[in-house]
Amino acid sequence: MISVKKVLGLQDSYIPEDTQAHHGSDPTVLDWLNDGIPSVHQALQCLTRLFPFLKWIQHYNLQWFIGDLVAGATVGAVVIPQSMGYARLAGLPVEYGLYTSFMGGVVYWFFATSKDITIGPVAVMSTVVGTIITDLQQLYPSIPGPQIALSITVICGSIITFMGLARIGFLVDFIPLPSITSFMTGSAITIGAGQVKTLLGQTADYSTRAPAYQIIIDTLKNLPSSQRYDAAMGVSALVTLYTIRTACNYAAGRFPHRSKLFFFLPALRSAFVILFFTMISAAVNLHRRENPAFAIVGHVPRGFQHAGVPNVTGEVIKTFAAKLPACVIVLLLEHIAISKSFGRLNNYTIDPSQELIAIGITNLLGPFLGAYSATGAFCRSAIQSKSGVRTPLAGVITATVVLIAIYALTAVVFYIPLASLSSVIFHAVGDLIVAPNTIYQFWLIAPLDAVVFAVGLVVAITNTIPNSIYATACLSIAVLLFRHAKAPGSLLGRTWIGGQFTQRPLFLPLNDAGDGYLGVELERPRPGVFIYRFSEGFNYLNAGHYLDPLVQTISRCTRRTNAQAYSQKGDRPWNDLAPENQGHASNSLGLPVLRAIILDFSAVNHVDVTSIQNLVDIRSQLNHRAAPLEVQWHFAHVRNRWTKRALAASGFGYPSCHNAEPLPVDELKDSSRSHGRHTPLDVEANKEEPLNKGDEKWMIGPEANVCNDTPRSVAIESASRPFFHADLTSALESVDAYLAANPVP
């Protein structure tokens, strides 16, 4: 029988006989399972990762202890008045705030991957818990508020601990930066508005759990009900807080050699103000404890009077089950955002899943001593970071200070004016409001992200804080899906690109994953140069997934230009775990230094604020690694002009400058932007970087490769943004030319 192939003249292969065929192995389901199931060694590593302190505690020394002692004691002095105020936000007696601060310091350091974070009660979560208690007690008045709060804490702790053990901390990446910033700003406005009633001593009956706009209206309507003595204690305390901060900031600029002094003075301003006004209150109310001249805290039990097994019942859980997603999201959002921010500032990387375990176990164990929901606190973490903290063990020092207050200072706490306590909360949450210049940067990078921020802020002010998170997260995902669904295609034409080489190379992945190119020898770029391709878009969902392996590979394949030599053991950072590993140090001397990174944006059409911020973060991290050399950042195949605008607004597209250090979103300051001049800015640091515009051009056109006297060609790369290239070849040739002219000294 004659086969069809023979009749049609078909061959078994269309590959010419003189061509070598390369057949890569196809992936199987078994390969997929093997990649996903951890080995025994990986399982043991996961167990040891549960207790990160075991890696650094063996190197603990006196110098580290002194740094931890100063930072822990400073935070302890700050957290005592704040925790009592936050407990009142939650509708609980003030001692619950002290219990929460104690448990946060005692438990967190066992599981922490961040040295700067301090765990305890925070304003936003306290507000959410207080709102839940208020709503439920209207329906179930027989259930005590503390029982509801402790039940919420136990359930949230269990959920978050499970998420951490399951290593699904990446889910936090599904909430983008605009959603977080709008949530923080809206929360700060809502909480601040709710404190004015107590700050002025208003006796009118209106709710401070309503939306922010309603609270502001009710506060203004009921100004005549303000009590003059309460208002005097509250307003004067608030003015004192802002005066101390402003004066110390001014003095620090005038006298930089005493900057340390002018840091600690404003850092302790809350403790000083509370102590000062408590002395006034004690002098006024010493002989009128039953009928004080203004509202005071009153009796606080000594010791852990509420310790015991929390009474968590199914009936109670049913009452707040619908609120659990909001509670979990608030706990995760605030903590992960803060820990990433301080990790970026201090040049270390946190493990989000491990941080979930840390706050999960803290909240799971806390209720047994009477603690309610706790997470990372931005204000206190900033103080701890700037105080010179060396390891997470500083939390134990903070817990010790709180423990002293629980047992020895309850008689003093009795006289604390409630109006002054409200002024401390009002002052603290003011730092969470995002500066207007940040919104402008959102607009420059991704206008739709600025719209998302505005929507979240409006929802937070007019509705509830949890709903603002839901709204912005859903809107961000909707924008992302819309962009993917409506991604435009393009018909391609051909033109000629003139460069140093006549042949155009093909760029293939440098891996051995069976991609169909077995046997093909791929030439790596020159040492210190890395080419990285994004395979499927670059947005807030996958930014960390893309960039973390890139940083790990660069760290493994390059050496630091500034060798880290420590004259004393205590000078070594807490997370530098190999001080005696001289063999690794000697091997790294043969590695190249990082010189340039080329990013292939052929699969990228749109970017957002979060993805750009991640790119800015690793730029800062890698510039620090290569300093004082300058790392070149080149981009190939950037076709979308909005993507070019976003990259340029963040300092990409031209020679980089690594003098600016990124700051958390909450510490943004105003910065001018001159008209008609490209000013690269870190979205979070908001610091200007000087421009150094190049004049590199690539010529294209039908006669670009023809030796004519008057070739017809056009420039496809702007002189103001010479690091945006038409293709990878152009980018690599540009890097080669730069490195040839600027060798490593």
The band of 545, judged by pLDDT with boundaries at 50, 70 and 90, is confident
Mean pLDDT of 618-630: 86
Helix (H) or strand (E) holding 714: strand 714-715
- Render pLDDT for 694-725 as a digit per residue (tens, 0 to 9): 333 433 333 334 334 444 444 455 667 889 98
**Position of tokens 């039990």?**
301
Looking at residue 504, what is its pLDDT? Answer: 60
Window from 383-387, 500-504, 563-567 with minimum mean pLDDT: 500-504
Mean pLDDT of 62-86: 93
Q: pLDDT above 90 covers what percent of the chain? A: 42
Looking at residue 654, what is its pLDDT? Answer: 82
Mean pLDDT of 118-139: 92
More confident residue, 110 or 171: 110
683: pLDDT strictly greater than 70? no
The band of 670, judged by pLDDT with boundaries at 50, 70 and 90, is very low
**Rounded (5°) CA angle 170-574-352:** 10
Looking at residue 491, what is its pLDDT? Answer: 46
Window from 30-44, 113-127, 247-261, 563-577 with minimum mean pLDDT: 563-577
Looking at residue 264, what is its pLDDT? Answer: 86
Q: Going along 401-515, which residue ranges are E strands?
A: 497-498
More confident residue, 48 or 664: 48
24: pLDDT strictly greater than 60? no
- Render pLDDT for 207-228 as a digit per residue (tens, 0 to 9): 898 999 999 999 999 999 999 9
Q: Going along 84-226, which residue ranges are E strands?
A: 119-120
Looking at residue 689, what is its pLDDT? Answer: 39
The band of 192, judged by pLDDT with boundaries at 50, 70 and 90, is very high
Beta-carbon contacts of 262 under 8 Å, excluding residues fewer than 6 positions away, are 248, 249, 251, 252, 255
- The answer to whether 193 and 216 are in contact (CB under 8 A) is yes
Mean pLDDT of 591-607: 90
Phi, psi of 64 (to 5 degrees): -65, -40
Looking at residue 276, what is its pLDDT? Answer: 95
d(CA 236, CA 249): 20
Phi, psi of 636 (to 5 degrees): -115, 150
Q: Is 59 exposed, middle or buried (0-12, 13-18, 19+ CB in 10 A)?
A: middle
Looking at residue 696, what is its pLDDT? Answer: 38
Beta-carbon contacts of 461 under 8 Å, excluding residues fewer than 6 positions away, are 186, 189, 190, 211, 212, 213
- Render pLDDT for 430-474 as a digit per residue (tens, 0 to 9): 888 988 888 998 998 889 899 999 999 999 999 888 899 899 989
Phi, psi of 532 (to 5 degrees): -130, 130
Domains of the chain with bracketed CATH: 61-481 (no CATH), 497-510+523-562+589-670+679-741 (3.30.750.24)
304: pLDDT strictly greater than 60? yes
Cis link prior to 266 (omega < 30° from 0)?
Answer: no
The band of 657, judged by pLDDT with boundaries at 50, 70 and 90, is low
384: pLDDT strictly greater than 80? yes
34: pLDDT strictly greater than 80? no
Looking at residue 580, what is its pLDDT? Answer: 44
- Render pLDDT for 346-370 as a digit per residue (tens, 0 to 9): 778 888 889 999 999 999 999 999 9
Mean pLDDT of 579-590: 54
Return the HEC string of 61-125: CHHHHHHHHHHHHHHHHHHHHHHHHHHHHCCCCCHHHHHHHHHHHHHHHHHCCCCCCCEECCHHH
- The average confidence (pLDDT) of the chain is 81
Window from 172-186, 523-537, 656-670 with minimum mean pLDDT: 656-670
- The answer to whether 199 and 426 are in contact (CB under 8 A) is yes
Window from 247-256, 289-298, 393-402, 725-734 with minimum mean pLDDT: 725-734
The structure tokens listed for 60 are 């603990």
More confident residue, 314 or 15: 314
| pTM of the predicted protein model | 0.76
d(CA 69, CA 394): 6
Looking at residue 417, what is its pLDDT? Answer: 95
Looking at residue 492, what is its pLDDT? Answer: 46
- The answer to whether 121 and 90 are in contact (CB under 8 A) is yes
SS3 content of the chain, % helix, strand, coil (to 5): 55, 5, 40
Looking at residue 688, what is its pLDDT? Answer: 38
- Render pLDDT for 169-187 as a digit per residue (tens, 0 to 9): 888 878 888 888 998 899 9
Query: Ramachandran region of residue 179, left (φ > 0), alpha (ψ -120 to 50) or beta?
Result: alpha
- The answer to whether 386 and 263 are in contact (CB under 8 A) is yes
Beta-carbon contacts of 683 under 8 Å, excluding residues fewer than 6 positions away, are 177, 438, 441, 442, 445, 609, 612, 613, 616, 650
521: pLDDT strictly greater than 80? no
Looking at residue 525, what is its pLDDT? Answer: 81
73: pLDDT strictly greater than 80? yes
643: pLDDT strictly greater than 50? yes
Mean pLDDT of 482-497: 58
Looking at residue 482, what is its pLDDT? Answer: 82
Looking at residue 386, what is its pLDDT? Answer: 87
Looking at residue 686, what is its pLDDT? Answer: 40
Beta-carbon contacts of 285 under 8 Å, excluding residues fewer than 6 positions away, are 292, 293, 296, 415
